Amino acid sequence: MMMKKLTGVNEYRDIKITSKRQLTIPKSYFDALNIEEEVHAYLLDDGIFLQPARSQETREEKDIQAIVKQVLSKGLSEEQLAEELTHRINEYRRLLKDRVQTFMEDMADSGSEEDEGDLDFNGLDVFFDKKNATPPQGS
């Protein structure tokens, strides 16, 4: 069977279908798309499109919706609108990338040559008082 050339394909696999017309989605697909318990299935003219069902919007989706609403309220022309949205969304993503990079650098900063490579921060420290392992006051 001849396969169409598809754009945006990150991984390809042939998936067998059981006698009960069931198929198993590879774990790597679940992990990459953060699939939980359900997918939306769309029947197209030449195939089936599966999309993860999300019970809640991600923080990024909410932020981008806020950016879009703010830019739309400015009454810009189509070209200006496209340029402004592209600029703001790219800046948003650059900011996130910079913050993650800074966080990773902070985690890797050992403070002394003696402790080089050791991490004092495990990602949960911000939620607990180190002395008695309880949530900090005001949480």
Residue 45 confidence (pLDDT) above 80: yes
Q: Is residue 34, in this structure, part of any structural domain at all?
A: yes
Average pLDDT, the chain: 79
Q: Is residue 95, in this structure, part of any structural domain at all?
A: yes
Instruction: Please give the pLDDT value at position 139.
Output: 47
CA dihedral for 72, 76, 82, 84, sign (positive or negative): negative
* Whether residues 69 and 37 fall in one domain: no
Domain boundary among 14, 39, 55: 55
Which range of residues forms the domain containing residue 30? 22-55
Residue 46, token pair as written in the block:
């030449």
Rounded to two decimals, what is the model's pTM?
A: 0.42
Residue 1 confidence (pLDDT) above 70: no
CB 42 within 8 A of CB 49: yes
Domain boundary among 55, 74, 99: 55
Residue 120: pLDDT band (50, 70, 90) is low
Residue 125 confidence (pLDDT) above 60: no
Count the domains in the chain.
2
- How far apart CA 83 and CA 81 sit, in angstroms, is 5
Q: Is residue 45, in this structure, part of any structural domain at all?
A: yes
- Computed on alpha carbons and rounded to an integer, the radius of gyration of the chain in Å comes to 23
Q: Is residue 29, in this structure, part of any structural domain at all?
A: yes
